Structure 1
Amino acid sequence: MQLAAPSGLMSLALFLVAVAVLAMLAGGFWLGNRVKYRESTRPRPEEQPKLPPGGAVHEVRENRESEEIPLIPKGGRPLTPYELSNQQTRPSASKDRPRWSQGSSGSFGGGGLGAH
């Protein structure tokens, strides 16, 4: 019962907690201003990046196909992965974009019915 009774000590504790929170907020604001003051200045308009002389660079879309894996001569031993160099790509003669087969989700577990 005595804990439930209003007390001046409880009011003082709440007031001190509020003052501590305000002091922390003010300290954070002060520290943030110090950090911002140490940063370099913003670039002036003449220091901003400029477009290249030919104008904006645009995206190029092309189909690429990989080089073929070398064929193994009859009776020869298979190539190991470290014997295959970094496979390069070249532009494809076909301009059609590769598509998934009809009815396929395009990925494993994609939720489609798949090709049945």
Structure 2
Amino acid sequence: MDTTWMDIAAARGALACGLLVAGVVVVALLIGAFVLGARIRRREPRPPRPEEQPRLPAEGPVHEVREHREPAEVPKSDQRVTPHDLPAHGNIPSRTSPSQERPRWSEGGSGSFGSGGT
């Protein structure tokens, strides 16, 4: 009696059983990930309701202000001046310039180094 076909069938059955077990493990991991994600989501704060959303100010939208500013002058000294020696510890605010014209480059040049201008 030849039992070769039984050996082949047994090997294929073990392979099928292994694939079935691997599939069950993958499905179990996916279900576990879904449950873990649902738990984490339950701990997060709820999204804001429409009445809790930010609103525009009564005077309308806030726009950008463009103005030319002048820096504060560094005090003259014979010694080296460090930031902590400056008034307000180096955080001197700038002030609005009397002239609000934007500085322009000279005519005929782009203002960049090596632009090929005259």
SS in 1 for 2:64: coil
SS in 1 for 2:67: coil
Change (3 A) 1:10 1:28: same
Q: Which residue identity does 1:37 align to in structure 2?
A: R
Extract structure 1 runs of 4+ deviating beyond 4 A. none
The alignment's C-alpha RMSD in Å is 3.0
Is the 8 Å Cα contact of residues 69 and 95 (structure 2) preserved in structure 1?
Answer: yes
| Range 34-43 or range 11-20, more displaced | 34-43
Query: Normalising to structure 2: TM-score of the pair?
Result: 0.64
**2:66 aligned residue:** 61
Q: What are structure 2's unaligned runs of at least 5 residues?
A: 1-7
Once residues 17 and 29 of structure 2 are traced to their aligned partners in structure 1, the CA distance between those partners, rounded to angstroms, is 18
Is the 8 Å Cα contact of residues 104 and 114 (structure 1) preserved in structure 2?
Answer: yes
Percent of pairs with identical residues: 38
Once residues 42 and 69 of structure 1 are traced to their aligned partners in structure 2, the CA distance between those partners, rounded to angstroms, is 50
SS in 2 for 1:40: coil
